Amino acid sequence: MYSAQIQFISWDKIYSFSVDSLELKVGDYVIVKTELGLELGKVVSLTEKKEDLVSKDPAASQELKPVIRKASKEDLARVPSSTQKKEALDFCRETIKKHGLSMKLVDVHFSWEGGRLNFAFTADGRIDFRDVVKDLSGYFNASIRLTQIGTRDEAKIIGDCGSCGLGLCCQGCLTEFCSITSEMAETQQVVNRGSDRISGMCGRLKCCLSFEYEGYKFLAGQLPPCGTKVNVDGVRGTIIQHHVLKQTVDVRVKSEKQDERDIIIEVDINRHKKKI
């Protein structure tokens, strides 16, 4: 027995289910039983060892619900078409406009059994959308849920082309968002490029700043801190800047004459390690 991590909606969390005799692979669609009924989901990862699963998700230590079966062609045929989704989104936008709410509708998800609709939206603050839910429930004759998502989730749904010329990472290789901090940009020495160049289409710091962060962090740790007094070929100076990838530092040597500028020397740490 092993477990499968299933995602039902691209902007929702990933859930774990147990797998008994089924042979599943990443990318397969399956039918599972949730607290709200049967649902169609996509396998995004597989975990063979229970301890590996618990380390990723502490809640997984509880009893997992089983995957019922692989989705058949008939199961997939029940997924609403793009036309149905557009009609639902159009009506919801009209309803939001009628109630004068500052909400930007992004996506809608139909439950596999058809009795529930979940609309995703973005907004600057909290929104009282109870009247919208009432109107939507009466129109669709279904259980309605409105979920406020972040700008990163919105970018993942809509998609675009990044400044690198490729598709957004959140639509391709990323299954979960991690925290991106300014420290990551500082460690990789890209802060001086400006916020426009280190921000993604969502307006937040680029997710790719986390890809090589640990490598940069390790290399930066090999360099003496800025402000360190060093001797370079018998000359006393102060480290003022790092070049992390080259593993070099800029050393300022004060001029002996007042009317002359200080000298900046780039020093290879590996070659001068014993002298510094």
- What is the CATH classification number for the domain harbouring 118? 3.30.300
Whether 274 is covered by a domain: the verdict is no
Tell me, what's the pLDDT at 142? Answer: 92
Whether 224 is covered by a domain: the verdict is no
Q: How far is CA 88 from the centre of its chain?
A: 27
Looking at 129, 149, 169, the residue that finishes a domain is 149
- Parent domain of 193: 153-216
Residues 162 and 142 in one domain: no
Whether 179 is covered by a domain: the verdict is yes
Pick 128 or 201 by higher pLDDT: 128
Asked if residue 223 has pLDDT above 50, the reply is yes
Distance CA 158, CA 11 (A): 11
- How many C-beta atoms lie closer than 10 Å to residue 235's C-beta? 12
Q: Any idea which of 17-21, 122-126, 174-178, 229-233 has the lowest mean pLDDT?
A: 174-178
Query: Which residues partner with 263 through β-bridges?
Result: 253
Residues 72 and 14 in one domain: yes
User: At 56, is the pLDDT very low, low, confident or very high (cuts 50, 70, 90)?
Assistant: low
Kindly state the greatest CA–CA separation across the chain. Answer: 86
Pairing type for strands 116-122 and 29-34 reads unpaired
Question: What is the average per-residue pLDDT within 77-100?
Answer: 94
Instruction: Give the full edge-to-edge strand order of the sheet including 67-70.
Output: 15-19, 2-7, 37-47, 29-34, 67-70
User: At 50, is the pLDDT very low, low, confident or very high (cuts 50, 70, 90)?
Assistant: low
Half-sphere exposure of 225 (CA within 13 A, CB side): 2
Question: What is the average per-residue pLDDT within 124-140?
Answer: 93
Asked if residue 205 has pLDDT above 70, the reply is yes
Phi then psi for residue 72, to 5 deg, are -90, 175
Whether 66 is covered by a domain: the verdict is yes
Tell me, what's the pLDDT at 276? Answer: 47
User: What residues have CB less than 8 Å from 156, skipping those under 6 apart?
Assistant: 10, 11, 168, 170, 171, 174
Whether 125 is covered by a domain: the verdict is yes
User: At 61, is the pLDDT very low, low, confident or very high (cuts 50, 70, 90)?
Assistant: very low
Question: What is the average per-residue pLDDT within 157-177?
Answer: 81
Distance CA 124, CA 143 (A): 25
- Identify the DSSP state of 262: P
CA angle 199-208-216, nearest 5°? Answer: 110
Whether 39 is covered by a domain: the verdict is yes
Q: How far is CA 188 from the centre of its chain?
A: 19
Average pLDDT, the chain: 87
Looking at 100, 130, 149, the residue that finishes a domain is 149
Question: What is the average per-residue pLDDT within 62-76?
Answer: 89
Residues 64 and 19 in one domain: yes
Tell me, what's the pLDDT at 203? Answer: 85
Residues 26 and 61 in one domain: yes
CA angle 208-213-214, nearest 5°? Answer: 140
What residue type is 182 in one-letter code? S
Tell me, what's the pLDDT at 273? Answer: 56
